[in-house]
Structure 1
C-alpha cells in the first residue's frame, strides 16, 4: 500500500566477440546496447528517479574518445538516455549504420563494455549530479573510472575523516563520491606501480600503456579500497582500458547475479532479468557471493575473486517480500509460502468463519502472497470437508454431500487503484480528501453486515495509506470486520542499507509501542533506553548495543498490532478492524536463504547499522521532548 523506495538497480555487459560478429549474427552491432536497454527496463521497479549508462570502446587511437556516459532524471529516464544515444545513429544511411568497423572507429557508444544504473534516492539527495554512473577522468586510459552501485554506506563520516586526513579532497560529502575517490586513488596507485615496473624493464611510449593495461590487477584495487566499507552494496565499475568489475558486500545484503557464454558476460541485480533478456535457464545463472568480485580483463577473461572475507550471510529479506520481480522462480514460491503461513493467524482473527469471509489484496505486489494465502485456505477447507464427510457415516445422501462440497473460499477484487495523488495539491484538508479516493471499491463484492473482509498487503511500515484511504474506503462496503494482513512482520527499526526508511518517527509499530508505554505509566523505559543510547555516543561502533529493543520488550506482537489499529482507524469507521502480521519465524521459514531481518528484529548485520539506529533514536527522543 505504501511504496517503499529502494536503492537501486545495476546492469553490466561485456561483449566477448568483435562488433562485426554481432552484426553478422544478429543483424546489428548494437546487440550489447540493446541488451543493456532490456536489462535496465526489466529492472525499472528498482529505480524511477534517474538512470544512466556508461560505455567503453576497447580499441581507439590516441585523441579519439573511448569512454561515454549518458544520464537523465525522472521516471522516463531509461527511455530518455537510450533515445539520446540512438540520436547519434538516426541520420546514418543504412550502409554506414550496419558497418561495424565504421561504428567502432567513429560512433559514440559503439563499444564492447556497457554499464547501466537505475536510481532511487534514499538519502534525500537528488539532482543530475547524484545520478550514476560517476566518472573520474584522467589522461592515462587505465586511470579513467566509471562507477555505479546499489548501496548505502553507514560509515561515510569515518571514511571521509580518514581520506581527508591523508590529503584527499572529495568533491562532495556523499558515499558515492567518496567511494569513487577511494577506488580511483587505489587505481592510480596500481597504474603507477605498473608504470614504474614497465620503465624498469626498459619499455617506452605506448609500450608502457600496453604493459599497464595488460597487467593491471583490479583485485588489489578493490581489496585496498573496500576494506573499511560498512553497509550493503553491489558496486560496478569500468576503467578506460576496458577492465570491468562488480563487488558484493561481505554480508550479502544486496543482491547480484551473473551469466557468461562465449558471446557475452552479464551482471544484474536480479536473476529473472538475465533469464528474460538472454533467454537462458535459471540454473545457468550464478549468484555473486558475499565479499566476492566478478572481474573481467581487457581481453575478456572472466574470473571471480574473494576480495573481503565473507561474513554470516544476511541477504535482505525485503528483496524477497517486495522489491525484486516476482517472476523469479524462487521468489514466487517464497511469496506464496509467506501468504500460506498467515492462515492460522487469519483464522483466529475471523473466528474460523471462512463461509462469511471475502479475501482480497492491495496492492498488486501482494498478489502472489494472496495466491499462497488462498491455497492455504483451500487446503484448510478441504480438510474440513473430509472431516464433515467422515462425520456423516458410511452412507451420506447426495444433498448432504452437495452441501459440504459446495463450500468455497470466496475471493474478490475489492479495491482498485484509481488515481495518483498529485503532489501540487499541498493544502492539508484537500490533500487528505483526495487521498481517500486513491482507491475505488467494488460495490456488491460482499454481503454488508454479514461478511468479514480480509485484505493482504506485502508490508505495513508507516500506515499512512491505511489511515488516509484504505480502511475508510473498505468500510464503505459494509463488512462486519476488516482484517488487514501483512505478509511481512512488523517493521520496527530503520534500514541503513538502501531502503528509504531511516527515521524512528516513520514506523507505526514504534509509535504504537511508545503510546503503550505512556498509557501504562512506563515512561521510565523510554528514559532508560535514551540514557543508555546517549551514553554510547563516541564509542567505537563495534561496541554499540541496540537499546531500542527495550521499547518493544514489554509487549506482545498482538498488543502492538491492537494499538496500531487504534492509531490508524479513521473516526466513524463502522467495521471492527484488526491487523495481522507475519510472525518472524514464518518469514524465516518462507525465505530460509535470506536471513537479513534487521528492520523487523533489530539485529543489524554490521556495526554501522547499530550506530545509525542509535543516532536516529536519540534524535527522535530529543525532538519529541524538546531537549
Structure 2
C-alpha cells in the first residue's frame, strides 16, 4: 500500500500541488516520500525516509522546478525501508524514465533473472530488492524492443512514433507482470504515463481541471488528493489501460490488455480515506453499508438489550459505528481519545513498534465507560495487538462488559497484492474459531461481518463489479496465480530475514513450478 500522484500543468510549478496531494495520501504510507519534477529539459528529484512534511523543506521545494511531476509516499512490502529504496526509481535508457508504483508484483524473481541475464538488452544490474525497480526495468527493456521492431518496419519511424512505442511496450509489459500494480511514470520526450494491472486490484483515478482555457490533468491513488489542488474526478483508470498526458497536454489512452475490475475489498474497509471514490464506489457509503449489515447480525444474536452504548475505535470505524448506533437505536459515544501525532499502528514496520504505539495512541475515558456494557466497533481486526490492549484499557476505565464488532470478516490469509501481512501465524484469527479469538482478545462477545454481507455491500454500490479480491478473508486470489508454494516461500523468507527497518520482505517470485512468462530473447 503506497500513495502515488502525477500532475501535468501547462505553466507554473507542479511542486507545491504535488506536495499538497501527497499530504492527502499520507495515510497510504509513512515510511518515505519522494518527488520528481520535469521542466521539459531536465528532471529534478528528491526523496528520503520520513513523512511528507519532513522530507520536503523550503530549500528542497525551490529546487524541484518544472510544470510536470510525480510524487510517492511509501509503505514497504518488498525490499527494505532504506532511503535507497524510496521512490521514484529511475533508468536513463531508453529516453529517461522515472516510475512510482503502488501494489506488489508477485513474479519478481523470474523477471529479475531475465533482466540480469542474457535475455535483457543490457544485462541490467538492479540496485535494490524492490519489485518496483524490477517493474521499471522490464518496462525500459520493452520500450527498447518496441524501438527495435519499429526500426525494421518501413512505415514506422522510431523517432516520430515514440508515443506509440511506449504504448506498445505497455501492452507487452502487462503480459509479463503478475500481481498488482498501479503506476505513474515520467518519460522524457513522451510525458506523464499511467497504467493499471488487468484486474484493477489497486486504485488509480484520473482528474482534470480547466485553467486559463486549457485542460490540465492529475492521476492519483485516491481522488481525495484532487480537492485541495482544484481537480475534479473524471474516472478511474481502467484495468489494463495505459494513459499518456503528452508534453503538449494531450490525453492519449490505450487498452493494452483485456481488463476486468476486481478491486481489493480491503481498500474500502481500511486503506482508503472515507472521502474517496474508488471504482465508482464511495468509500464512506461502503463503510456505512457495512454498519447496516453488521447491525442486522448483532440484532439476530439478541445482544441489543445488553448494550448500553456504541463506541468506535477511531478513526476508520466511525461510519460503521454511527450506522450501527442508528440502526439499533443505541446511544453513540466517543470513548476513546486518539493522539493524532502517532501514526497508524497497522503500517508500523515491526510488531514491537506497533505495540508501543498502541499504548500512546489511544486513551479510554472513564466518563463514557464507567459501569457500562459497551459495543466497541472496529473496521478490522488483523493481528489483534491493538484490540487486545484496547479491551484491557476499556475495562480499566470501568466497563462492565466489552462486546466487540468487526466491520470485516476474520483476516486469515496474506494479502500479497501490496499490504504487508504475509505471515498467516501473525493473524489473531489464524487457525482459531471465533470463540477462541474472542477469548484471546479478552472480550465478552465478538461479532464479525459475514463475507457474503461484505461482498453484497460492494455489489449494491457498483453492480458492474462481478468479483472483488477478498483474498485476505477467503484465500482466493483474483489473479489465479498465487499458489500455496508461493505463500510458503514468503513465510520461509521471513524466517531468514528480520522484518525490521533495515530489512523487510525480500522480493520473492514464482520459483515453484508456476508457469511464468519470460522476456523474449533478442533476435
TM-score, structure 2 normalization = 0.82
Structure 1, residues 430-450: CA drift from partner, whole Å, max 9, x if none? 9979965653221132452xx
Structure 1, residues 537-569: CA drift from partner, whole Å, max 9, x if none? xxxxxxxxxxxxxxxxxxxxxxx1111122232
More strand by share: 2
| Displacement after TM superposition at 1:187 (Å) | 2.1
Larger radius of gyration: 1
Number of aligned residue pairs: give it. Answer: 472
Matches within 5 A, 1:110-509: 110-123=65-78, 125-138=80-93, 143-163=95-115, 164-167=117-120, 168-171=123-126, 172-191=128-147, 211-212=159-160, 216-261=164-209, 262-278=214-230, 280=232, 282=233, 285-311=234-260, 313-328=261-276, 330-348=282-300, 351-353=303-305, 356-378=307-329, 409-418=330-339, 438-446=361-369, 448=371, 451-467=372-388, 469-509=389-429
- Separation in structure 2 between the aligned mates of residue 186 and residue 10 of structure 1, nearest angstrom: 23
| Displacement after TM superposition at 1:82 (Å) | 5.4
- Separation in structure 1 between the aligned mates of residue 49 and residue 490 of structure 2, nearest angstrom: 33
- Separation in structure 2 between the aligned mates of residue 502 and residue 364 of structure 1, nearest angstrom: 24
Report SS of the residue matched to 1:479.
coil
What is the root-mean-square deviation of aligned Cα atoms in Å?
3.2
| Displacement after TM superposition at 1:214 (Å) | 5.8
- Separation in structure 2 between the aligned mates of residue 436 and residue 128 of structure 1, nearest angstrom: 28
- Separation in structure 1 between the aligned mates of residue 472 and residue 352 of structure 2, nearest angstrom: 32
In the alignment, which residue of structure 2 is the partner of 1:568? 441
> Are the counterparts in 2 of residues 214 and 298 from structure 1 also a CA contact under 8 Å?
no
- Separation in structure 2 between the aligned mates of residue 350 and residue 474 of structure 1, nearest angstrom: 23
| 1:447–1:128 distance in 2 versus 1, CA, 3 Å | closer
- Separation in structure 1 between the aligned mates of residue 326 and residue 7 of structure 2, nearest angstrom: 40
> Are the counterparts in 1 of residues 80 and 129 from structure 2 also a CA contact under 8 Å?
no
Report SS of the residue matched to 1:218.
helix
Moved over 6 A (4+): 195-198, 428-434
TM-score, structure 1 normalization = 0.69
Higher relative contact order (CA 8 A, sep 6+): 2
- Separation in structure 2 between the aligned mates of residue 353 and residue 435 of structure 1, nearest angstrom: 31
| Displacement after TM superposition at 1:216 (Å) | 4.7
- Separation in structure 1 between the aligned mates of residue 357 and residue 103 of structure 2, nearest angstrom: 35
- Separation in structure 1 between the aligned mates of residue 441 and residue 359 of structure 2, nearest angstrom: 13
| Displacement after TM superposition at 1:371 (Å) | 1.5
| Match among 441, 445, 454 for residue 578 of structure 1 | 445
Report SS of the residue matched to 2:304.
coil
Report SS of the residue matched to 1:498.
coil
Q: Which runs of 5+ in 1 are unaligned?
A: 1-6, 20-28, 61-65, 89-108, 202-207, 379-408, 513-559, 570-575
Report SS of the residue matched to 2:367.
coil
Q: Which runs of 5+ in 2 are unaligned?
A: 346-350, 497-523
| Displacement after TM superposition at 1:253 (Å) | 0.3
> Are the counterparts in 2 of residues 113 and 242 from structure 1 also a CA contact under 8 Å?
no
